[in-house]
């Protein structure tokens, strides 16, 4: 199928897990009514972004895949609406904890799980305290509408992530995100470079990119300050041009229809994959 209608949800969340899941359900249903077939919510949408503090009590938020309320709700909704929902969640697997994504198909079945590969550790984003580096490797999934690859937030800064998924057959790249202010530098706004990095992935792999970020001011108990999430979610085509975008104050769904046959034609014509020289890239797999 040549044309794929996708949606990226940009929403603000609270500490009320039930209300957050209901909010996502509402906007997934609205996006589905507008024709979206793959609908991307933001990262860890079941609550506030808790990684601004290190608190061992917060590990209780993690649940196994088959018990997580966000995953269970999105499975039911995906089947009802007949849509695919890449669902970010805080996963507990035995004694291990991951920042994970369940790929849910349009029948409500879990196609597989991806665990975030790149884990940040800095002021406001202290994820290494909570999450082990993912052990799944990068993932792509064949849907009825094309093959999609999904990275999670910090993964989106790495061209290796996008290229690996493209080489695995991805035709569209999706990134659920929670990103905003930088507590160590109040004058630093990364929103423009954040977009540019992913638009670059679109260009260099000649395929569309979808990014869904949260918005709003959040403050966890015990945090010294609040975190302000800047939104600016977007959908870019295979040239990196923005075909749908949100400002930092907007909530709701961005929706666009992508022409995957056109992108495939351009991807072949540009020759990026034809002209690769893997024998020269060994340095990329070495530690700095």
Structure token digits, residue 171: 């035709």
Please spell the DSSP secondary structure of 82-104, one letter per residue. Answer: T-BEEEEEEEEETTEEEEEEEEE
CA gap 150, 31 in Å, rounded: 19
Structure token digits, residue 213: 């970020």
CA gap 242, 226 in Å, rounded: 30
**43 belongs to the catalytic site:** yes
Contacts of 58 (CB under 8 A, 6+ apart): 50, 130
CB 177 within 8 A of CB 213: yes
Contacts of 107 (CB under 8 A, 6+ apart): 78, 79
CA-to-CA separations, 162 to 117, 140, 168, 263, 273, in angstroms, rounded: 12, 11, 10, 16, 13
CB 124 within 8 A of CB 52: yes
* List 46, 51, 116, 206, catalytic entry: 116
* List 25, 43, 91, 238, catalytic entry: 43
CA 58 to chain centroid:
22
The CA-CA-CA angle for residues 29, 35, 38, to 5°, reads 75
**116 belongs to the catalytic site:** yes
Structure token digits, residue 17: 């897990």
Helix axes 69-81, 17-33, angle to 10 degrees: 20
- Residues designated catalytic: 43, 116, 153
């Amino acid at each position: 199928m040549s044309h794929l209608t996708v949606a990226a949800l940009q929403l603000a969340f609270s500490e009320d897990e039930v209300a957050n899941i209901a909010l996502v359900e509402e906007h997934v249903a609205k996006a589905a009514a507008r024709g979206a077939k793959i609908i991307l919510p933001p990262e860890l949408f079941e609550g506030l972004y808790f990684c601004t503090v290190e608190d061992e009590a917060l590990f209780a938020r993690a649940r196994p895949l088959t018990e997580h309320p966000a995953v269970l709700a999105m499975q039911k909704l995906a089947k009802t609406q007949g849509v695919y929902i890449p669902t970010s969640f805080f996963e507990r697997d035995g004694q291990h904890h991951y920042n994970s994504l369940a790929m849910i198909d349009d029948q409500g079945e879990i196609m597989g799980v991806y665990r975030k590969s790149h884990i940040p550790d800095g002021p406001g984003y202290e994820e290494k305290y909570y999450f082990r580096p993912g052990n799944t490797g990068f993932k792509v999934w064949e849907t009825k509408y094309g093959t999609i690859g999904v990275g999670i937030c910090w993964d989106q800064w790495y061209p290796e992530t996008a290229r690996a998924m493209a080489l695995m057959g991805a035709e569209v790249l999706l990134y659920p995100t929670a990103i905003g202010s930088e507590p160590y530098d109040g004058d630093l706004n990364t929103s423009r470079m954040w977009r540019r990095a992913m638009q670059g992935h679109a260009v260099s792999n000649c395929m569309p990119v979808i990014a869904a970020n949260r918005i709003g001011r959040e403050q966890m108990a015990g945090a010294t300050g609040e975190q302000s999430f800047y939104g600016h979610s977007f959908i870019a085509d295979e040239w990196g041009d923005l075909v749908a975008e949100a400002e930092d104050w907007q909530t709701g769904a961005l929706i666009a229809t992508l022409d995957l046959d056109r992108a495939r034609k351009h991807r072949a014509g540009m020759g990026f994959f034809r002209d690769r020289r893997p024998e020269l890239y060994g340095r990329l797999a070495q530690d700095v």
